[in-house]
Every structure is written in C-alpha cells, then in structure tokens.
C-alpha cells in the first residue's frame, strides 16, 4: 500500500494523520498535564489515607480525654496510674519490677 493512500483513509471523518494527532493530544491531557489522571488517582489515595489518619487520631483523642477526666476526677485513680506507669511508691513501700 502506498503511504498516500493510508493517509487518505478516513476514520470517523478524520484522516489517519488527524486521528493520530487527536490521540496524542488526548494522551497528553490525561497523562502528562498538571491535572493528569495518574496524579488525580495518587491524590485521591493520599486523601483517603489522611482521612483514615484523622479518624484514628479523633478516636485516640476521645480515649485520651476520657482517661484524663478519669485521672482528674479521683485521687485514687491518679495514684493508681502513677504507680503502674511511673513506678511511684509510698514512703513505706518497696517496688519489685518483674519483666
């Protein structure tokens, strides 16, 4: 086949040359521009991960706030927490740490 005949073939009323340029432009728009499809998918994944982190830290904040209220509400709870986590003791006690 002659190259001239191939170029004169028409698909969707466009020549092969025009169709190739159109496909190249569409590819550039979707894959190489600032708002490309690949970047958009990457950003959507990041947003999903960040939303998951936000939810985790909200739950953690609620848990910590409840623990703080519990510690502030009673001296016995505060003393128990200090003994368990910081190995604090009364004057007449001895502490044995078992690991």
DSSP string for residues in 51-80 = HHHHHHHHHHHHHHHHHHHHHHH-HHHHHH
Domain map (residue ranges) of the chain: 1-33, 35-88
Q: What is the pLDDT of residue 4?
A: 55
- Summarised one tens digit per residue, pLDDT across range 43-94 is 999 999 999 999 999 999 999 999 899 888 888 888 888 888 887 777 787 7
Helix 75-86, helix 37-73: angle, nearest 10: 120
How far apart are the C-alpha atoms of 89 and 2, rounded to whole Å? 96
Of 32, 3, 26, residue with least CA distance to 15: 3
Structure tokens at 99: 């690991």
- Summarised one tens digit per residue, pLDDT across range 3-50 is 555 555 665 677 778 888 888 888 887 777 777 777 888 999 999 999
């Amino acid at each position: 086949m002659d190259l001239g005949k191939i170029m004169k073939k028409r698909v969707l009323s466009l020549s092969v040359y025009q169709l190739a340029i159109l496909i190249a432009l569409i590819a550039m728009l979707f894959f190489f521009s600032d708002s490309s499809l690949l970047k958009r998918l990457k950003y959507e994944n990041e947003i999903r991960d960040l939303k998951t982190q936000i939810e985790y830290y909200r739950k953690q904040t609620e848990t910590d706030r409840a623990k703080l209220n519990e510690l502030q509400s009673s001296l016995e709870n505060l003393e128990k927490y200090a003994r368990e986590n910081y190995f604090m003791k009364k004057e007449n006690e001895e502490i044995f740490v078992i690991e």
